[in-house]
Chains A and B, each alone.
Chain A
Amino acid sequence: MVVALVFSMTLPVMLAIGLYYKSSGLLMEQSLFNLIFSKDWRPLSGHFGLFPFIISSLWVTVLALIIAGPICLFSAIHLTQYAKSYVLKVMHPIIDILAGIPSVIFGVWGVVVIVPFVSQHIAPLFGKQTSGYTIMSGGIVLAVMIIPFILNILIEVFKSIPEELTEVTLSLGATRWMVVKHILMRKAFPGIVSAFGLGLSRAFGETIAVLMVVGNVTRIPHGALQPGYPLPALIANNYGEMLSIPMYDSALMLAAFVLLIIVIIFNFISRMVIHRMIKIM
């Protein structure tokens, strides 16, 4: 049992060390700073700038959270505060089903529905023309994928707040909405941050569904209606294919390493926020 525990505890560290070791070939030749912040990606001439991929990943992820965040928050508030109890009972299996759908199916759905929708309806709104394979499509598909995770946590967060807090606030002459806005949101804040943080980490690493709709063009995107090429897509598309190019596998390992580190940083930041909020309350 102890061995199993130690194994699972050291797993992230071993993963990081392994990835770092594998990418060290490239790191010996070029500085890490340069690799991360250079936008020059030409493997054939030995240029492995990861910046376009990192930026694409951030774009897709943040967009997904901007779409999914409010939807989840308002759904959770409605389900726990306003809706009849059977609605929540119906919602639970729906959320579970949504969470269990394989991501490739979301990808197909994205290609068939979202990509044309973005191309025909959303882009014209902004006076743009696009094939639909854009950051926007990736963000929408990803938003739908992380909704069940964020929503699930938020429902638990709001359910864990004692009902008496609502009762005493109502007795002070507050309306239901004041209770939600002033008291429950505040009380739930650490939970909301952690739900969003977890959603963010999940979204950042999601690969296949995003890869199918995001366009995969190596260029720094300057808007949601341009194509992008997130880190996980880069790794999945190329690993095992063009490894005859010198240092290519090393560069992909570095990409994986960067991905891991960013996810860890997300986790760390949301943990810190939670910790500070709990102290204040």
Chain B
Amino acid sequence: MSGNSKIIIKDVNLHFGKQHVLKNVTANIPEKQITVILGPSGCGKTTLLKTMNRLTDLYPNVKIKGSIHIGDDDVLNTKKDITEIRRHMGLLSQRPYPLPMNIFNNVAYGLRISGRKSKKYLKPRVQHYLQMANLWEEVKDRLTDPASSLSIGQQQRLCLARGLSVDPDIILADEPTSALDPLSSEVIENKFIELKSQYTIVMVTHSLQQARRIADYVIFMYLGEIVEQGPAEEFFNNPKQELTKKYIKGLFN
């Protein structure tokens, strides 16, 4: 494996009440590559993603053991303020959830709450991130329109711009294209490939084709356990586990 590990997950066990959702999950997520967490629905892949920035705190009756190191911090057991750590990770969810504000403010919000409020500072920043998300040309004349007036594909790109605005070094994406049409999906996928020179990207998907198209590193999960992980080429061409072979051939379900 080339490069360094950005996120080091070790022996993570997660329970929702009595349900054992993540079982002894251990993985190293490489820096500045696209890591795809693959697996059928309900295998715990979204939960694993949300454990990385502790959104699991929101759920009732959650118990987590183990450690997730990002840089020097153990996210799960840190004494640091979790909001500060979350700022290093942009989140792109399954469906776009624009904030109930206009287009400009959607991108500016993250900057504003971290204290950067002057219009003079915000304007070029917002433009920069909207350009990064390939949305600027479409919205530059209607920045004061409500974000909900955009199409779903545009909204998802707006959410990407919003996530990038706080200058994270990790992008967490939870099936970010599952609600989009093929064309908008392609835009997002290409964007990810472009962005991976600057960001570590972790994406959850259940689409084998999508994983083949963009993954550098694959983590394959089934029923809360990691079945197999490795560099994409090796994973797809030379899988070691029976279960993986079956899944790749599409013999699942």
The residues of A with any CB-CB pair to B shorter than 8 Å are 84-85, 162-175, 178, 182-183, 186-187, 280-281
Would B87 and A172 count as touching, CB distance under 8 A?
yes
| Bound complex: CA A168 to CA B84 (Å) | 14
B163 to chain A, nearest CB (A): 7
Would B99 and A173 count as touching, CB distance under 8 A?
no
Would B100 and A183 count as touching, CB distance under 8 A?
yes
* Residues 72-93 of B contacting A (Cβ, < 8 Å): 83-84, 86-87, 89-91, 93
Would B101 and A175 count as touching, CB distance under 8 A?
no
Residues of B within 8 A of A172 (CB): 86-87, 109-110, 113, 162-163, 165-166
| Bound complex: CA A171 to CA B83 (Å) | 8
Residues of A within 8 A of B5 (CB): none
A187/B100 contact (C-beta < 8 A), A167-B93, A178-B113 known: yes
B194 to chain A, nearest CB (A): 21
Would B60 and A174 count as touching, CB distance under 8 A?
no
Residues of B within 8 A of A280 (CB): 146
A166/B89 contact (C-beta < 8 A), A172-B113, A172-B166 known: no
| Bound complex: CA A174 to CA B58 (Å) | 14
Of chain A, the residue at the smallest CB distance from B172 is A171
The residues of B with any CB-CB pair to A shorter than 8 Å are 50, 53, 55, 58, 60, 83-84, 86-87, 89-91, 93-95, 97, 99-101, 109-110, 113-114, 146, 148, 159, 162-163, 165-166, 172
A162/B86 contact (C-beta < 8 A), A167-B58, A173-B114, A281-B148 known: no
A103 to chain B, nearest CB (A): 37
| Bound complex: CA A46 to CA B166 (Å) | 72
A121 to chain B, nearest CB (A): 41
Would A173 and B148 count as touching, CB distance under 8 A?
no
| Bound complex: CA A169 to CA B162 (Å) | 10
Would A164 and B95 count as touching, CB distance under 8 A?
yes
Choose among A167, A175, A183, A281 the residue that contacts B55 (Cβ–Cβ < 8 A).
A167
A168/B159 contact (C-beta < 8 A), A173-B110, A174-B113 known: yes
Task: Give 15 pairs: A residue, B residue, CB < 8 Å, sorted on A.
Answer: A162-B97, A165-B97, A167-B50, A168-B91, A168-B97, A169-B99, A171-B86, A172-B165, A173-B83, A174-B83, A175-B83, A178-B113, A187-B100, A280-B146, A281-B100
A179 to chain B, nearest CB (A): 10
Would B109 and A171 count as touching, CB distance under 8 A?
no
Residues of A within 8 A of B166 (CB): 172-173
A124 to chain B, nearest CB (A): 45
The 4 closest A-B pairs by CB, nearest first: A173-B87, A171-B91, A172-B110, A281-B100
Of chain A, the residue at the smallest CB distance from B102 is A280
A221 to chain B, nearest CB (A): 40
Would A165 and B86 count as touching, CB distance under 8 A?
no
| Bound complex: CA A169 to CA B58 (Å) | 13
Residues of A within 8 A of B86 (CB): 170-173
